[in-house]
């Protein structure tokens, strides 16, 4: 039972507190609360979640192995940076990995998998309707992660997790308020595409599933390209 003055984290078993820290760090990095390159304060996290330093360090090593953090000897942990090279690699790899995992999901998904994916889609649709940027990015990430888990491929899943990290961070960068009508239309299109992807997986239509997720990624790619391409200046060049 929680004692007076204790937080929920303090009252929870150590394994639960570690799980809460794991989830919190992943979300804070994905939603840019912890910016690329930011120092991750091990001591502050230990105190916040009521954990000793060893389990925090163990979790940091795990997150570093998954690409969330960078660890160097005698230096504090840092959030993985986003560089030109990493973004270039992202845009090259994303359509390949999304297509591979979604097509395998169409082969391997169970009825329970589909039911869980539909529930995540419900949360994504609600986040769109409520214009909640963080939840929108989180549930889009969760949607594709669940598809990757359905693929049941130990080689692809780690790559997908790393891909989704930067996709989340890009989503928080390029889809900032205020939401324009064009952005609203792209969100509505994303909802429809998610529904179509679920249907293709449920129908075990491998080719359609791959084609749909490629089109879905292209929607994000175009939006990101629009963001970074500056408008022409209305001045003479000569």
Mean pLDDT of all residues in the chain? 88
Q: At what angle do helices 133-151 and 181-202 cross, to 10 degrees?
A: 20
pTM of the model: 0.81
Q: In terms of Cα–Cα distance, which of 125, 133, 126 is closest to 30?
A: 133
20 and 113 share one domain: no
Q: How many CB atoms lie within 10 A of CB 14?
A: 12
pLDDT, one tens digit per residue, over 45-103 is 999 999 999 999 999 999 999 999 999 998 999 999 988 888 889 999 999 999 999 99
Which of 33-42, 43-52, 190-199, 223-232 shows the lowest mean pLDDT across its residues? 223-232
How far, in Å, are 88, 94, 108, 176, 192 from residue 103 at the CA level?
Answer: 24, 14, 9, 31, 18
What CATH number does the domain containing 150 carry? 1.20.120.530
Same domain, 126 and 224: yes
So what's the pLDDT on residue 56? Answer: 96
Half-sphere exposure of 13 (CA within 13 A, CB side): 2
What pLDDT score does 231 carry?
A: 53
Q: What is the mean pLDDT of residues 155-181?
A: 84
Each residue's pLDDT tens digit, 90-148? 999 999 999 999 999 999 999 999 999 999 999 999 999 998 888 998 899 999 999 99
Structural domain contains residue 2: no
In a domain, 71, yes or no: yes
Q: Are residues 101 and 216 in the same domain?
A: yes
Q: pLDDT confidence of 213, banded at 50, 70, 90?
A: very high
pLDDT at 87: 84
Q: Report if residue 180 sits inside a domain.
A: yes
Query: 69 and 89: one domain?
Result: no
Assign residue 48 the CATH number of its domain.
1.10.10.10
Count of structural domains within the chain = 2
User: Are 73 and 179 in the same domain?
Assistant: no
Q: Residue 237 falls within a domain, yes or no?
A: no
Cis peptide before 79 (omega within 30 of 0): no
238 inside domain: no
Domain boundary among 46, 79, 112: 79
Q: Are residues 116 and 192 in the same domain?
A: yes
117 and 198 Cβ atoms separated by less than 8 Å: yes
Sort residue 142 into left (φ over 0), alpha (ψ -120 to 50) or beta.
alpha
At how many degrees (to 10) do helices 84-108 and 133-151 cross? Answer: 60
pLDDT of residue 5: 46
Domain around 47: 8-79
Domain end position, chosen among 53, 79, 105: 79
Residue 206 confidence (pLDDT) above 60: yes
- Regarding whether 193 and 92 lie in a shared domain, the answer is yes
Residue 234 lies in a domain: no
pLDDT value at residue 197: 98
Q: Do 39 and 145 belong to one domain?
A: no
Residues 34 and 130 in one domain: no
185 in the same domain as 93: yes
**pLDDT > 70 fraction of the chain, expressed in percent and rounded:** 86
Same domain for 195 and 109? yes
d(Cα 192, Cα 198) in Å, to the nearest integer?
A: 10
The answer to whether residue 219 scores a pLDDT higher than 60 is yes
| Same domain (yes/no): 122, 190 | yes
- Does a structural domain hold residue 214? yes
For residue 177, name the pLDDT band (cuts at 50, 70, 90).
low
Contacts of 105 (CB under 8 A, 6+ apart): 113, 147, 148, 150, 151, 201, 209
Domain contains 236:
no
> What pLDDT was estimated at residue 15?
80
Q: Among the three residues 27, 47, 79, which one is the final residue of a domain in this structure? A: 79
């Amino acid at each position: 039972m929680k004692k007076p003055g204790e937080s929920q984290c303090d009252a929870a078993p150590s394994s639960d507190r570690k799980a809460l820290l794991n989830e919190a760090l992943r979300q804070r990095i994905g939603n840019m609360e912890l910016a690329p390159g930011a120092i991750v304060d091990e001591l502050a996290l230990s105190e916040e979640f009521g954990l000793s330093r060893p389990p925090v360090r163990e979790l940091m090593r795990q997150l570093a192995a998954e690409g969330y953090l960078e660890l160097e000897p005698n230096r504090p942990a840092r959030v993985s940076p986003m560089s030109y090279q990493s973004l270039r690699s992202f845009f090259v790899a994303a359509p390949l990995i999304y297509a591979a995992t979604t097509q395998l999901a169409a082969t391997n998904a169970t009825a329970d998998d589909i039911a869980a994916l539909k529930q995540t889609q419900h949360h994504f649709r609600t986040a769109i309707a409520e214009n909640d940027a963080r939840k929108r990015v989180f549930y889009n990430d969760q949607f594709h992660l669940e598809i990757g888990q359905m693929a049941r491929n130990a080689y692809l899943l780690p790559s997908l997790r790393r891909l989704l990290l930067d996709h989340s961070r890009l989503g928080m960068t390029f889809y900032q308020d205020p939401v324009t009508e064009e952005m609203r239309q792209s969100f509505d299109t994303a909802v429809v595409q998610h529904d179509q992807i679920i249907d293709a997986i449920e129908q075990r239509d491998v080719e359609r599933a791959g084609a749909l997720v490629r089109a879905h990624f292209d929607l994000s790619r175009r939006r990101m390209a629009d963001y970074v391409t500056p408008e022409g200046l209305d001045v003479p060049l000569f």
